[in-house]
Amino acid sequence: MIEHALGPVSVGTRAACLGDPLSATLWLANTVAKAGRPHREGDTILSGARGPMVPVKAGAAYVVRIHGLGSVLAAFAKEPT
**Model pLDDT for residues 22-74, shown as the tens digit of each residue:** 888 888 889 999 999 888 889 888 776 666 677 888 888 888 877 788 888 88
Give the per-residue pLDDT at 54. Answer: 74
Q: How far apart are CA 48 and CA 75, in angstroms?
A: 22
Domain boundaries, the chain: 2-75
- 7 to each of 23, 47, 54, 71, 72, how far by Cα in Å? 31, 26, 13, 15, 15
Q: What is the number of H-type helices and E-type strands within the chain?
A: 1, 4
Q: Cβ atoms within 10 A of the Cβ of 17, count?
A: 19
Q: How far apart are CA 36 and CA 81, in angstroms?
A: 48
